[in-house]
Structure 1
Amino acid sequence: MNQVIDTDVVVVGGGPAGINAALAAGRNGARTLLIERYGFLGGMSTVALVYPWMTFHTMEGKQVIAGIAQEIVERLQALHASPGHVRDTCGFVHTITPFHPEIYKVLVMDMLKEAGVKLLLHSFVDGVQMSGVGGEHIESVRITTKSGPVTVRAKMFVDTSGDADIAWLSGAPVLQGRDSDRLTQPMTMKFRMRGVDLAAVKRYMIEHPDEFYRKTPIAELDQLPLSAVQGFYKHWKEADLPINRDQVLFFTGPEEDEVLVNMTRVQGLDGTKVEDLTLAEEEGRRQVLMVADFMRQRLPGFERASISQVGAQIGIRETRRLDGQYSLQIEDVTEGRRFEDVIARSGYPIDIHDPKTKGVTAAWIAGDGAYDIPYRALLAKKVDNLLAGGRCISTSHEALATTRLSPSCMATGQAAGTAAALSAAAGISPQSLDVKRLQETLVKQGAILH
């Protein structure tokens, strides 16, 4: 028997963007349902071990992301599950934000209950029912569950699936990968290791500064807790592993002898195709064993280390994204552009993991070190009650390389959820919503827009 649920706002995808969207919608008075396919929340932050969060600040240390995202950090701190924002000791950004993923999973469930949000886990959206003269209105979504199909009808839908699933299923225009060949940034299977002697790692860095990323604050390492390591170039080159990357990268924590390794690289596969995902999972896990052996055998401080956790699924940087009312461009980011319809800001640089080669292309932000994300980048074309948040907002391939990061996703998620609630209450489309009213609401609820 097909169960039917009626609500005001449906958020699809329980990652950082979806959590913040659902919290924002619920707190702004909308009956809200959050749909997540796994048995827990957190999206890439938990299922794929994307850790730590990068970044809430500009390169100069000015905070540009706050609101619900900052509230989550502070509540994690109160639970001794995050040190808050700490210096990035590889120097790619000014701060990173470590967190304990298991405590984060429970905390956000508590917060959703506080906001009156209904949650459906183990639920996968596989269909969209359209209505309207031109089929421009989402009437409902269909969910596949263990207890049978469920139809969910709502006034507004927020796509925080990461893969623009709802946009694609509804017929809204979407893009994927580079304009030239549709290739996307590579996937990465992340894993944790325990038994790491981080003091030995730090000593080696201080004694061999040339072997590490050029922005590493070597002169300050004596005073800073080690949070991130990028380099060991000589060791990686000598190992000559069949993995198409050029350096070692890991982050410390959450335990004192633990690191999160971000080094596998699976290229040339499409994260929206089940056959490609199957191949990616196999290849990613083979690379994990290879990298762990390399680290134990060759890196100082890893002699007694062992794998403690591998991602439940491979991490995905890029698949489909909305082709929306405005597409954020690389120049908007690097020139630090401002928009009248700003709904979020970010200080994370361009960070493109090349779809084919070993390298990473980076570009930093001019001006005050932050750029605006406009409301129009959250709005779909051809569908009048759909918003996007997180990784699948409307950008170019290059600009996605900054908006895809979790704090930016949290900020756009809060904006999308707030806009959905305000639009549902007023009985209007998100495209007709007064942007100034949206901005005022966001600022009252802690967002930083200036």
Structure 2
Amino acid sequence: MNKIIEADVVVCGGGPAGINAAIAAGRSGAKTVLVERYGFVGGMSTAALVYPWMTFHTTEGKQVIGGIAQEIIDRLIEADASPGHVRDTVGFVHTITPYHPEMYKIVALDMLKEAGVRLLAHSFVDEVLLQGDDTIGSVRLTTKSGKIEVKGRLFVDTTGDADLAYLSGAPCLQGRDGDQRTQPMTMKFRMRGVDLERVKRYMLDHPDEFYKKTPFDELERLPLSGVLGFYKHWKEANLPINRDQVLFFTGPAEDEVLVNTTRVQGLDGTDVEHLTEAEDAGRRQVMMVAKFMRDQLPGFERASISSVGAQIGIRETRRIDGVYALQVDDVVQGRRFDDVIARSGYPIDIHDPSGKGVTAAWVQGDGAYDIPYRCLLPQRMTNLLAGGRCISTTHEALATTRLTPSCMATGQAAGTAAGIAVKRGVAPADIDVSELQAELTKAGALLG
């Protein structure tokens, strides 16, 4: 017989969005369960070494994401596990936020416990049980101790892949219009033994070999936080990887970098056989890129691999087809919405699904755009919300909402909305959005 657990709010997916959703729901007083497939929380930020977090600010440096996300940063700073928000020496955004992933796991667990959240780790959602055509009654988990059924009043999909929505029968979309191809996957890895002063000296002596927005006029006094370029070295190496430059970020250790340079294209992150192939291809690319960097790049002569992601990093898979889909023009024009529940200053950042390049477009106006509550509401399912990477957007707009701080913000909004819906005894679509906005603002979210 199945073990049965009952809750008010069930959050599926323990990445940054799910963590923040569960904390918000738990703080509202709702009995909350968080379901996570790994033995630790953090999602792509821990399992796939997605690092650093970018960005909490606009290109002019105004902070537009706060709330639980900023609480986490503050705790990491107190634990000497993050320097906080620092200038991005790549120049793509104004700030990035380095952090130690192992401490993030602990900090997140502490905050979940303080909020009264029950965590079910090593648990994989494999079935959604409906009550009628439009209401989720429970989710069934596969675990080491057998099947567990978790009943809830409200459900929040923060799986990144819209697994809960898809299994429930809610409409979902995937990839770009036409061919449904998604942004490529990347196997990230860390290297130790890097001479970062030598890297910086080379950058200052050869600025034409690096990204045009690199802040060279500030580089002498700024700590090196990230590097995009080494164009000449990459071209000469002619590796069978379909991109045109090297990208890495520094830290957490003084001689350490996180390399974001591999690229696995044309595979579906929701297909187990494709994922298996992607893991294989990604790890082989890691070895290839690490050897190239050690042999060819100044500052990497004594470097070696110190860690590789537990899984490949996934930028895009399924997303809900919601009440409203955020459009690329909404982002670029910095559009405001009456039902705003989160803001972001991160630009459009599309890693080409089939080519070498990256398509970028910056936010105009005050440098930030609104994410409306309607993007969190799927069609058809009345007691389901989405947060994080699988909210309702177009393929192009997903290229900004998928970034971790944005996911943290929409996760907090989804969890807060779920808590209000439970308290008021209504469906998420019927809550008073002004009450949601007031609760978010009270909790430190930046909506103005």
TM-score (norm 2): 1.00
- The CA deviation at 1:430 is 0.2
- The CA deviation at 1:426 is 1.0
Q: Which amino acid aligns with 1:419?
A: A
Q: Is the counterpart of residue 170 in structure 1 residue 165 in structure 2?
A: no
* Residue in 2 that maps onto 1:448: 446
Trace 1:119-268 onto structure 2 (pairs within 5 A). 119-132=119-132, 135-268=133-266
* Residue in 2 that maps onto 1:69: 69
- The CA deviation at 1:323 is 0.2
* Residue in 2 that maps onto 1:411: 409
> d(CA) in 2 for partners of 1:306 and 1:178?
37
Q: Is the counterpart of residue 105 in structure 1 residue 105 in structure 2?
A: yes
> d(CA) in 2 for partners of 1:115 and 1:139?
24
Q: Which amino acid aligns with 2:327?
A: Q
Identify unmatched segments of 5+ residues in structure 1. Answer: none
Describe the superposition over 1:314-373 as per-residue Cα deviations: whole angstroms up to 9, x where unpaired: 000000000000000000000000000000000000000000000000000000000000
* Residue in 1 that maps onto 2:331: 333
Give the secondary-structure state (helix, strand or coil) at the position aligned to 1:149: strand
- The CA deviation at 1:213 is 0.2
> d(CA) in 1 for partners of 2:130 and 2:8?
16
Specify which of 366, 369, 388 is matched with residue 390 of structure 1. Answer: 388
- The CA deviation at 1:44 is 0.2
TM-score (norm 1): 0.99
> d(CA) in 2 for partners of 1:177 and 1:206?
39
* Residue in 2 that maps onto 1:96: 96
Q: Which amino acid aligns with 1:33?
A: V
* Residue in 2 that maps onto 1:280: 278
Q: Which amino acid aligns with 1:331?
A: D
> d(CA) in 1 for partners of 2:437 and 2:308?
40
> d(CA) in 1 for partners of 2:148 and 2:54?
36
* Residue in 1 that maps onto 2:317: 319
- The CA deviation at 1:377 is 0.1
> d(CA) in 1 for partners of 2:34 and 2:313?
22
Q: Which amino acid aligns with 2:311?
A: Q
> d(CA) in 2 for partners of 1:169 and 1:429?
20
Q: How many residues align?
A: 448
Q: Which amino acid aligns with 1:161?
A: T
Trace 1:299-378 onto structure 2 (pairs within 5 A). 299-378=297-376
Alignment RMSD (CA, Å) = 0.4
Q: Which amino acid aligns with 2:310?
A: A
Specify which of 289, 292, 302 is matched with residue 291 of structure 1. Answer: 289
> d(CA) in 1 for partners of 2:14 and 2:390?
14
Runs of 4+ with deviation above 2 angstroms? none
> d(CA) in 2 for partners of 1:312 and 1:342?
35
> d(CA) in 2 for partners of 1:7 and 1:273?
30
> d(CA) in 2 for partners of 1:106 and 1:346?
26
Give the secondary-structure state (helix, strand or coil) at the position aligned to 1:205: helix
- The CA deviation at 1:229 is 0.2
* Residue in 2 that maps onto 1:6: 6
Give the secondary-structure state (helix, strand or coil) at the position aligned to 1:151: strand
- The CA deviation at 1:425 is 1.3
